[in-house]
Amino acid sequence: MTHPGELLKKNSLYAGKELGQNFLSNPATAQMIVDRTGVDKEMIVLEIGPGLGAITLPLARACKQVVAVEKDRRIIPLLEEELANEGIRNVTIINQDILKTDIRELAGTKKLVVIGNLPYNISSQILFQLITIRQVVTRAFLMFQKELAERLLSPAGNRNYSRLAAVVQYASKIERVADIRPNNFFPRPDVNSTVLRFDFFETKGMGKEDEILLFSVIKAAFSKRRKTLHNAMADGELGLTKEIVGIALENAGIDPSRRAETLNVQEFIDLSKAVGKVSTNES
């Protein structure tokens, strides 16, 4: 691969800070990431933000097909040239914002593996998007700012446990794949990065509407994380009175004086089901 700094300079381009562009510049690191994904010649992979092809090149050699979604139209000709120079023909590039892309339509009747060096400014949004369409995604290997990765891995009761961690842990098994230092990127970021693996699964007894309510309950619980669950969830966007919240907490067997960061995934599921039943009885 050609160093991204050299490619950009040659074409009078620059890394877009507004797009969160930090291009992976170490081919050995890119190969290591692809090797650890375990993709094979039977797999179709969706790559989010291929950039200048650091991961795309070894990925295309390892799998059946790569569908690469790239928002920045300026760099697509450079990526196409890199692929052509390497004789790679199994990559389809789509110039689109991944948050506006219908991933279900891309998958068709197949299931995808997703890989991405994500723009840090929208990484949480992309993860939420994948959770909602996980029926067509078997697993994902995503690079985050290390601080966010640590929060995603944090268990209930840890001070880093968050709304996003609860939602992600509800929908997937998470593992650390690799920590990546700033000197592996161009331009060099100010933070370390971490690649995480997500193995998505369905939760028995939870339909689409159940999940929508669960995610709303988690959001409400964390909206005022310094407050108790009873106070945080009352009179908020869920439209619940303190009385209804109290009944739901009691029915779920949860102490109302607890705070959101102390609840594990199963407790959030129990609470959302209790909220659903109480709300139905009240209406």
Quick: pLDDT tens for 21-31: 899 999 999 99
For residue 239, say whether it is annotated as part of any ligand binding site. Answer: no
Q: What pLDDT does 144 receive?
A: 96
Q: What is the pLDDT of residues 189-237, one digit of tens each?
A: 999 999 999 999 998 889 999 999 999 999 999 998 889 999 999 977 7
Q: Is 213 annotated as a binding residue?
A: no
What pLDDT is attached to residue 13? 86
The pLDDT score that the predictor gives to residue 212 is 95
Residue 8 has φ and ψ, to the nearest 5°, of: -65, -45
Residue type, position 39, single letter = V
pLDDT at residue 283, rounded to an integer:
52
Does the annotation list 190 as a binding residue?
A: no
Structure confidence at residue 119 (pLDDT): 87
C-alpha 47: how far from its chain's center? 13
pLDDT the model gives residue 203: 86
Positions in the chain whose pLDDT score sits under 50? none
Domains of the chain: 4-200 (3.40.50.150), 208-282 (1.10.8.100)
70 is in an annotated binding site: yes
Residue 95 annotated as lining a ligand binding site: no
Residue 255 assigned ligand-binding role: no
What confidence score (pLDDT) does residue 20 get? 76
pTM, two decimal places: 0.93
Sign of CA dihedral 103, 90, 77, 51: positive
Position 205 scores a pLDDT of 86
Is residue 114 within 8 Å of residue 46, measured between CB atoms? yes
Cβ-proximal residues to 246 (8 Å cutoff; 6+ apart), any chain: 230, 256
Which pLDDT belongs to residue 98?
97
